[in-house]
Amino acid sequence: MKTFFLTASLVMACVITGWAAESDGFVSLFNGTDLTGWINANCAPETWSVSEGVIHCTGKPTGALRTPRQYENFILELEWRHLSKGGNSGVFIWGTPIAAPGVPFLRAIEVQVLDHGYAEQYEKENGKKSEWFTTHGDVFPIHGAHMKPFGRHAGERSFPSEDRSKRSPEWNQYRVVCNQGVLRLSVNGKEVSGGEDCNYRKGYLGLESEGAPVEFRNIRIKELPSTDAPPTHTAPLDSGLRTLFTGLDLRGWKTSSAVERRWAVRGERIHLNAGEADPGATLWSEKEYADAEFVLDCRLENASEGASAAPPILVVRGVEIPLTDVVAGNHQRYSVLSAGGEIVVKRGDTEIRRVTIPANAKPRGPLGLRDTGAAVEWMNLYAREL
């Protein structure tokens, strides 16, 4: 009889524990089986995968896997581990739906995910420890975001108060508490870093791919009551833009011997090499579009002597669109909207060109990057069908 009651008590305790786990307000962001509930922001199809209950990232190219919806106030918990010495990654908080102009990263507050080998290599090469980063949970804003850091810091980068992270291949646990623009990071059970006055303070959550294999598991979130973040502190909403570029190669684009001779992919960017223009080397998307929006970043590279000075040219629905204000050294972000019988081109938020689509134009067509002979770099290519 004692054995019966003891067994019944243990079963009841397990049930109660299970109820507590289900009723603590947390919701899983990862089903342990596939990437349902996540969006590939700008990586190759194989960059992110699921195996044995963890999200695996190859680290190539640099980019992000993000949530399909925004979050404002919440508690985020997850575990991570690097699979190689010196691995680099991060968690993006309150991020944008697509990469910031000129870089493969989301605009966000980044919670650093860095293996000790990274700092050890820095010390070996420089003869001293780094004074601008640690491997124990730095928190900092990137690419247009802002944050007032807590504690010891450099610029807007908050350094952890203790060294608590474990080296590869051990697992680490992060708890990120975000409320009213205040972010607090706990590493393996203790709060160590963070900041306040964050902008944005409502946006997407993302996992970062940055050069080395890394894994994530047990990702869950508990939302806290909204405090009505104003539009100035809220990331742009996902409009349906999806990446046209793997960041690694020209999959999704029509290639030929002429294209392979003139175009190359380096560092999450598509390069058109300087030289004599070849109309047959225009790079075309495999997919054709009717009404659509395109977003892309462009810059002129330092042209070699004798190379053409012609501006970069986009081809949309068979219409050539010269980007005459592109300059060397700086990426400019362009959006191209093809709808209602016309094409509207914006640089940033400023309309710079409006073109009527000819009546005899085909109803659908690929996006083209014209070979003009100039050395040009393209990145962050996105499209959405209307």
Same domain? For 223 and 325 the reply is: no
User: How is residue 230 written in tokens?
Assistant: 């104003």
Q: Chain-wide mean pLDDT for the chain? A: 91
Contact 370, 320 (CB under 8 A): yes
Q: How many residues does the chain have?
A: 386
> Is residue 14 domain-resident?
no
Same domain? For 59 and 171 the reply is: yes
Nearest to 66 by CA among 271, 215, 203: 203
Q: What pTM did the predictor assign?
A: 0.90
> Is residue 189 domain-resident?
yes
- pLDDT value at position 111? 98
- Which residues make Cβ contacts (< 8 Å) with residue 302, sequence separation at least 6? 328, 329, 375
CA torsion through residues 80, 83, 87, 88, sign: negative
> Is residue 8 domain-resident?
no
Burial of 25 (0-12, 13-18, 19+ CB in 10 A): exposed
Q: Which domain holds residue 83?
A: 26-236
The CATH number for 342's domain is 2.60.120.560
Domain count, the chain: 2
Same domain? For 307 and 179 the reply is: no
Q: In whole angstroms, how far apart are CA 49 and each of 4, 60, 65, 213, 383? A: 46, 12, 10, 11, 23
Contact 97, 105 (CB under 8 A): no
Same domain? For 37 and 71 the reply is: yes
- Segment 207-217, tens digit of pLDDT: 999 999 999 99
> Is residue 7 domain-resident?
no
Same domain? For 67 and 36 the reply is: yes
Using 50, 70 and 90 to split pLDDT, how confident is the model at 309? low
> Is residue 197 domain-resident?
yes
> Is residue 36 domain-resident?
yes
Using 50, 70 and 90 to split pLDDT, how confident is the model at 92? very high
Express the helix, strand and coil content of the chain in percent, nearest 5 each: 10, 45, 45
The 10 Å Cβ neighbour count of residue 109 is: 30
Contact 96, 89 (CB under 8 A): no
* DSSP summary character for residue 202: B
Same domain? For 224 and 299 the reply is: no
pLDDT at residue 14 is higher than 50: no
- pLDDT value at position 225? 97
